[in-house]
Amino acid sequence: MSRLRVLQVLPDLSMGGAERLAVHLVRHLDPDRFETGIVSFYEPAGTDLDDVLAREHRRVWYLGKKRGFDSRLFVALHGVFREFRPDVVHTHTTTLRYTLPSAAFHRTRARVHTIHNMAEKEAGRWGWIRKLAFRLGFVPVAIANEVQRGVNRLYGIDDCPNIPNGIPLEAYTTPRVARDAWRTQEGFDPDALLFVTVGRPDPQKNHPLAIEALERVCADDASAFLLIVGSRGSPEIQQRLERFARDHNVGDRVRFLGPRTDIPEILSASDVFILSSDYEGNPLTVMEAMAAGRPVVSTAVGGVPELVEEGVTGFVTPAGDAQRLAQRMLRLTDASLRRSMGEAGARRAAERFGVEQMADSYGTLYEELTGASRS
């Protein structure tokens, strides 16, 4: 039997969770069953995702989209569909509105759209496009139970597939740089208490909440730092966060590391992972931290309570509550508790978060939707 051709469609190949998930699929779908390609609306973003796809000679189309609405994209996508002739088109985040016409015109056999955040938050002003696409044969896929419930509330779909995210575990269990060596090169004392959060500085991630919690922690433990990893955003956002940290007396305790490709090494060198988001889907960053053996303190949003076992692998707190977040961070100034929770998290990650499980679940869905059977 010939392989199914699967086309992943993304806005770009930046460092977000949706982008990494799509690249994980391209790399880990069974090559005996699937031929894969990936579309980026924009030019290369200069990330390690671009690099790994090029190094492995994966089929990638960069369409050179302009900012804002760009009608040329419809023609460009039509050309990709005509060249690749996908059996399955799999869209992510905001790409449905451009991809729907080509998928319909070329009569793609299976159409999948992963909802990477809470359905109500992801829909935005383009929610009507999603409703239309789901009526025209696109199958929404949730990434957590809470996301699945949101799909039911918003779209009235009660049989939405639920495929949790997965990560390449080995990358986080075997960092390339030792903990002490990383700390030395970044200027941190071996005994410093490093809290780390990974995510772009936008309102969803609510970095000010983590900074406010750090102020309370530093009143008890002067060795504490907060590392914020991810795109710096606009200069205005960066300056606002820096000013917020100074106003809360932790300007010298918050380090903005910017976008990084050494996330496994940063997690290995840190002590506790923090997520202060107001809402989430099923964050890869939490999985990565647990795989790296780090306890997690997170707001109880989206699929996070499905990942973090309260009091065992970390703590979950109400969204927006800096006091509760700080209290749980202070609990983890205890090194033995950090160690036991981190070990429990690593075991849970090994059992549940492997990228192979996710890729096999999507592969099975593709075959079911196309009527293909495994050889």
Q: Could you tell me if 244 and 323 lie in one domain?
A: yes
| Residue appearing with tokens 């992801």 | 122
Give per-residue pLDDT as tens, 87-123: 999 999 999 999 999 999 999 999 999 999 999 998 8
Measured between alpha carbons, how far is 352 from 188 in angstroms, rounded to an integer? 33
- Say if residues 162 and 194 touch (Cβ distance below 8 Å): no
245 part of a folded domain: yes
Q: Is 340 left (phi over 0), alpha (psi -120 to 50) or beta?
A: alpha
Region for residue 214 given its phi and psi (left: phi exceeds 0; alpha: psi -120 to 50; beta: otherwise): alpha
* 202-212 residue pLDDT tens: 899 999 999 99
On the question of pLDDT at 375 being above 60, the answer is no
18: DSSP letter: H
Q: Where are the alpha helices (DSSP H) in 219-321?
A: 235-247, 263-269, 284-291, 304-307
Q: Which of these ranges, 127-131, 143-147, 220-224, 232-236, has the smallest mean pLDDT? A: 232-236
Domain containing residue 127: 4-166+355-370
Residue that the structure tokens 């205005």 belong to: 236
What are the pLDDT digits (tens) for 303-334? 999 999 999 999 999 999 999 999 999 999 99
- Beta 4-10 vs 34-40: how paired, if at all? parallel
Looking at the structure, do residues 11 and 146 belong to the same domain, yes or no?
yes
pLDDT score recorded for residue 254? 97
* Beta carbons within 10 angstroms of residue 192's beta carbon: 17
Q: How many domains, the chain?
A: 2
- Residue 135 in tokens: 């009526």
Query: For a pLDDT cut of 70, what percent of the chain falls above it?
Result: 98
- The residues that bridge with 7 in the sheet, in sequence order, are 37, 89
CATH number at residue 15: 3.40.50.2000
> Can you give the pLDDT at residue 374?
56
What are the structure tokens assigned to 315, written together? 């703590």
